[in-house]
A and B are shown apart, each in its own frame.
Chain A
Amino acid sequence: MISSKIVKNIKQLMGDSSGVLFIIGLFLLIAFIIMAIFAPYLAPYSPIKPSGASLLPPQSGHIMGTDNLGYDVFSRVIFGSRMAFSIAAIATSIAAAIGIPLGLIVGYIGGRLDSFVTMVMDSVYTFPGLILAIAIAAMLGQGMINISLSIAVVYIPTYYRVIRSQVATIKSELYVEGARAIGAKPPVILSKYVLPNVLPSTIVVLSMNIADAIMTEAGLSFLGLGIAPPTPDWGYDLSKGQQFILQNDWWLVVFPGLAIILIVLGFSMFSEGLNEYLNPNIGEKR
C-alpha cells in the first residue's frame, strides 16, 4: 500500500519515534474531523455559490483565493473533507463487511473452498487499485454510493488476505483446539476465539485503508469519474485547478492537494502508531 510505504520512509528519517508520529497523525486527524463536522460554521462562504470575483489570489476575505467560477477555495477545501471522509468511510466499511467475514469463514474451513476463494481474491488484488476502481466506476457511473462501491471492491482482497492468513495460523493454536474440546460450535469458536485474536491487525488495516481510499477517491474525481460538480471535492478541484496552472493561478492546485496530502499522512502515521501499540512484538527490534 502506498501509505505504508510513505510512513516507512518517514520513520527512517525520524528514527524510532513512532510515538511522535502517532501524536502528529492523531492531531491531523482530529483537525480534519473537526473540519468535516463543523464545516458550515468554519467555512466563510457557501462552497457551491460564487462569493466574489473569479480567480482571485489568496487575500483577506479569501485566504485561499477563488476559482474560475468565483467559489471560495477555502470553503471548498473545508467542505471537501466531508466528501473525503464519507466516501472513505462507506468504502472501507463495505470492504471490511465483506472481506473480514469471508476471510474468517474461508480461513477456518480451509481446503478447496480456501484455494478457490483465495485464487479469486488474489486475481483481484493483482490489479492496480486505481485502474480497477476506474473500470468499475466507469461501469457504475457517478455518485457517492457508486464511487464507494468501486473503491470497496479494490480493498476487499486486502481484508480477506490479512484475515485469512491470520485465521489459518490461529486455528491451529491450542486454545482453538481447546474450544473444540469443550464442545463449542464453529460459529462460537470463530466469534469468541478466532475473531478477537485477529481484530487488532484488522483495525490497523482499516485505518490504513481509509487513507488509501481517500487517495483513490481523489484520483477518481480527478479523472472525472467521481462526484458530480459542483459538490465540493478535493480531487475534482485539483483537476479543475490544473487547467489554470499555466496562468500561475497556483492556489487552485496547492490547497486541495495539500489537504489530500495531509489527511493521508495523518491516517498513515496514526495507523502505524496504532500498529506498534496493538502488535508490539512485530518489528520491535531491527
Chain B
Amino acid sequence: MVNDSNVVVVKNLKKYFLLKIPWLESFSLKEKPSVKAVDGLSFSIKKGEALGLVGESGSGKTTVGRSIIRLIEPTNGEIVINDEDIMSLKKEKLRKARRNFQIIFQDPIASLNPYMSIGKSVMHPLEIHDIGNRKQRKEMVLELFEKVNLIPAEGFFNRYPKQLSGGQRQRVVIARAIITNPKFIVSDEATAMLDVSVRSQVLKLMIKIKEEYNLAFLFITHDLASAKYICEKIAVMYLGKIVEIADKTELFDHPLHPYTRILMGAIPIPDPTLKREKIIPAGEIPSPTNMPSGCRFRTRCPYAKKECGDIDMSLMEIEKGHLSACPFIR
C-alpha cells in the first residue's frame, strides 16, 4: 500500500572520502584530493514503498545506505526520515532515533554476534530503547520469530548463530531490524550471499514485512532481477551518481540511460531459447579517484560523443516520474 507521505527524503547527499597523500605534496595542492563515493544524490521513499538502488561494485551504493542512517558521516546533504532532520541530530538524539530506521547487511554470518544467542540478539534493541518489560520483550521476540518463520520460536531462542543456516541467520537479522517497529529499513545486498532456493524465501519475507509494517524500504543490490521482484521504484547508480530513476515497470519497459540498458542486457536469462542481441560495453567501472569529466559513463558508453565531456549529469524528467541523466537519449 503506497500512499503519498514521504518517509524518507534525501537531498543532495554527498560523501567524499579524503585520500591519504604524502604530506609534502599536500602543501602544493589547493584542494585535498578525495574520492567522491556519493556525489549529490536526491531521492525520496514513500510509506510502504521500496526503492531499489542498483549498481556495480564501486558505484557507491553501499556508502549511500550507510550514510543516510549516519553509520558513516555524510559530507553534506539533507536527510529527513520520519519528519526528523537526521543531519542535525546530536549524538544521543541520533542514538535514540535509531529505533526508527534499521539496516540489514549483506553477510548474515558476520552481522550477528557469535557469542550472543539469537534470542538475545533480537531482544537487544528493545533493551536499548527501553521498550516493554522483560517478559513482554521475550514475548515480542517469540512472536516475531514466528512471523519470520523461525519455528518453533521457543526452540530457536537460545540457539547461537553458528547453529543456523544462512537463510535462517538472515531471518534473525531481519527480525532484529523490525523489532523496534521502524519506519524505514535499508537492505544492503541482503540476499547476495544466499543460494537461489533460499534467496527467494528471504525476498518474500522482506516483501511480507514491508507490507505488514508499511515500511519505507531502500533495497541496495547489484542484481536488477531481485530489485524488480521487490521494488516499486528503481534508481540506477553509476560512480556516485544516480543516472536513472523510474517506476519499476516503466524502467524495465523503457530504459533510457545507456548504462541502464547495458546493465539490463547483461543479466543472464534462465532461458536457453532466448538468443539476445547484446551490447557489451568495453572496459570496467573506472576508479573513483580518477573520474572522467562530464558524463562519468562516457568512457564505456557505446553512444558516447564529443559533447558528453561537457554535460553535468543532472537528472532530467523525460517522462512523468522517469528521470534520466543522459540528455541525448529520450
Residues of A within 8 A of B (CB): 173-175, 177-185, 188, 192-193, 196-197
Contact = CB atoms under 8 A, between A and B. Distances in A.
B124 A182 contact: yes
A197 B110 CA distance: 13
Contact of B98 (A177, A181, A196): A181
A226 B112 CA distance: 49
Contacts, number: 59
Give 6 nearest A-B pairs by CB, closest first: A183-B98, A196-B115, A174-B110, A182-B125, A174-B111, A175-B113
Interface of B: 69, 71, 95-99, 102-103, 105, 107, 110-116, 124-125, 128-129, 173, 176, 180
Identify which of B95, B113, B115, B173 gathers the most chain A CB atoms within 10 Å of its CB. B113
28 contacts: A173-B110, A174-B105, A175-B110, A175-B112, A175-B113, A177-B105, A178-B105, A178-B173, A179-B113, A181-B71, A181-B98, A182-B98, A182-B99, A182-B102, A182-B124, A182-B125, A182-B128, A182-B176, A182-B180, A183-B96, A183-B97, A183-B128, A184-B124, A192-B116, A193-B116, A196-B113, A196-B115, A196-B116
Nearest to B92: A185
Contacts of B97: 183
Contacts of A177: 71, 105, 111
A100 B112 CA distance: 24
A118 to B, nearest CB: 20
Contacts of A184: 124, 128
Most B CB within 10 A of own CB, among A174, A181, A192, A196: A181
Contacts of B96: 183
**Which of A180, A183, A185 counts the most B-chain CB atoms under 10 A from its CB?**
A183
Contacts of A174: 105, 107, 110-111
Contact of A183 (B95, B105, B112, B115): B95
Contacts of B71: 177, 180-181
A182 B115 CA distance: 17
Contacts of B129: 183
B112 A181 contact: no
A192 B129 CA distance: 16
A196 to B, nearest CB: 4
Contacts of B111: 174-175, 177-178
A260 B107 CA distance: 49
Nearest to A199: B115
A173 B107 CA distance: 10
B252 to A, nearest CB: 32
Contacts of B103: 178, 181
Nearest to A173: B110
